[in-house]
Structure 1
Amino acid sequence: SIYYRKPMLPDLSPFDPQYHLMIQRDIIAVINGIVDCFSGKVLTRPSILRKTENKVYQLMYVSKNGWNIPESYIGNSNGECIKYEKSASIIKPLTTGKTYGKNGWELYQTNLFKEINEDISLTPIYLQEYIPKQFEVRVTIVGRKMYPIRIDTENKVDWRADYQNHRYTQITCPDDIIVKCYKLMDDFNLVFGAFDFIVTPELKWIFLEINPNGQWLWLEQSLKLDISQKIVEYLIS
């Protein structure tokens, strides 16, 4: 079996920097090709991850299948962004949000959105209305084992920016959320998924995204969960 997590690239400093990106792409192409054509069990094939990690694909799916979602815009039109400037809104990265430069790398996460002063015709962005939340939920699923974790934090924009002040509680999902999550997993051909929700003061569950290869170890360690055991059981079954 193969557990495809996040392949680490080697140090390419001995090579001319002009060729680093090409070498990196070639390495990943070989790894992904081996994993995608492997006849045994894989968690999860790169070809499935590439499709299901796409925010456009996710947003179109949930909007057609009855999920509660924030009003959202993905595109490159300055004119379409004006209404988001006039109300409480957030901006988030479409992909990983990482940039690389001479001094290392920077990570861009979800932030409050105010305005755009530049032409975005070649730089599509992801905007959403800001929805007040009572708490957030990370739902990790392995097969048909679900781990819904309530996350209480002082940061009401992006809980990932405030790990040191988190409080975690294992909770139960509403029945309709359970049904929707399992259906999405089946439709996306996933065995593992990490769903992010916000829950409003009225206890309405709002879908934000699913990460088909998301982090889970910090929750297992914080609450003594058995996520890693379920992953191993799947791989050896």
Structure 2
Amino acid sequence: MEGARDSVLVLTNPSDATADLVLRLLAERRVPVVRLDPGVDLHDGSSLTATYRTGDQRSTLRTPRRELDLTRVRSVWVRRPSPYGGAPGLSGQARKFSAEQSYWATGGILASLPGALYVNHPWSNRAAEYKPAQLATAQRSGFLVPHTLITDNEDDAREFAAGERGGVVYKPVWNTPYRVDGQPHSVWVREARSHEITHAVAVCPYMFQAKVDKVFDVRVTAVGDRLSGTRIDSSDRDRRYRRYRPNFTQCTPIRIPEAVEHSVAAYLAEFRLTFGAFDFAVTADDTWYFLECNPNGQWAWQPTGTTDFVARAIADQLQKGI
């Protein structure tokens, strides 16, 4: 059994090409790595056992090729593991029971490894994904935040939209999978006018935000205290839409203002994050407005220099541990 505190545990799916960039660096440095997709691999030849008693905790991962003492792992990179879907061959309530038991047991074991650095801890990731929490934390961290309303009240929504002279946009608070006639659709950011708002707002909370008269967007990728900035020039209002129209987007490096750097550090500290992907809208007078922070955002789509910088920064964190 591997016992020295020298292994890095990477939780992700087998198709995660972004993770491969970091794993190659760790391999070059001869850092032992175990890659695991717990929702799948633990139903396909691997197993996980944990024991707890006063003064002692043991966790063992067995794969077809090795046995690993998880209490000696130096760091855990929580990337993009598959959802816990339950054991193959089961259906209905039995499969749901299997999936939920795996989520609460396996997820709890892997999130409670003593002495390990998490990038990021899964519970920190979850806490940092709530849009209202992001906005509140951004304000406390010193970011400028566009005027925002989250409501299920039609009158409040109309009043807000009518009161913003520059207009408002609607944004979903979560990227929920959505289908129309059986086909997958995305709910994009779109302009919302006062007269368009109806009683449908009462169905669920809607988020409306004052439009920022931006010149360009910026992605700031933070790994600990190492930051990189990418300027994004695109005509698309919703940054997610750019992945479908890459020829209409130009990405170039940009210097990050010192005030923004300080706010990024404060934001990461409050959510206990090591990694964060921050999005900003920048106006003609170089005012940076915080839009959101994805605690587990993609980053390999940026220019090669930036992608290499982020990969090295993550590899350094994982290699160093706590």
- Shorter-chain TM-score bucket reads 0.7 to 0.9
The offset of 1:197, in angstroms, is 0.2
In structure 2, the partner of 1:51 is 127
Q: Which moved more, 1:103-112 or 1:140-149?
A: 103-112
Q: Which residue of 1 aligns with 2:295?
A: 212
Task: Name the residue aligned to 1:161.
Answer: 241
2:218 counterpart of 1:172: no
Q: Distance in 1 between matches of 2:92 and 2:304?
A: 39
Instruction: After TM superposition, give the deviation of residue 207 of structure 1 in Å.
Output: 0.5
Partner of 1:235: 318
Matched-pair identity in %:
25
State the secondary structure of the residue aligned to 2:81: coil
**Any conservation in 2 of the 1:35–1:46 contact (CA below 8 Å)?**
no
1:201-230 per-residue CA deviation (whole Å, 9 max, x = no partner) reads 121110101111111111154755321121
Structure-2 residue corresponding to 1:28 = 103
Corresponding letter in the other structure for 1:130: K
The whole-number CA distance in structure 1 between the counterparts of 2:141 and 2:227 is 21
1:9 matched to which residue of 2? 83
> For 1:159-185, what per-residue CA distance to the aligned partner results, in whole angstroms no more than 9, with x for missing partners?
321241111111111111111111111
**Aligned 8 A contact 1:141 1:193 in 2:** yes
TM-score by length of 1: 0.88
1:127 aligns with 2:208: yes
TM-score (norm 2): 0.66
- Residues 92 and 53 of structure 1: CA distance in aligned 2, closer, same or farther (over 3 Å): same
Number of the residue aligned with 1:75:
151
Distance 2:180 2:113 in 1: 36
Q: Which runs of 5+ in 1 are unaligned?
A: none
- Check if 1:89 corresponds to 2:172: no
What RMSD in Å do the two structures reach over aligned CA positions?
2.5
Larger radius of gyration: 2
1:198: Cα distance to partner?
0.4
Larger mean Cα displacement after TM superposition, 113-122 or 15-24: 15-24
29-38 or 74-83: which moved more?
29-38
**Counterpart-to-counterpart distance in 1, 2:280 and 2:144:** 10
* C-alpha distance in structure 2 between counterparts of 1:130 and 1:111, whole Å: 10
Q: Is the 2:231–2:252 contact (alpha carbons within 8 Å) kept by the matching residues of 1? A: yes
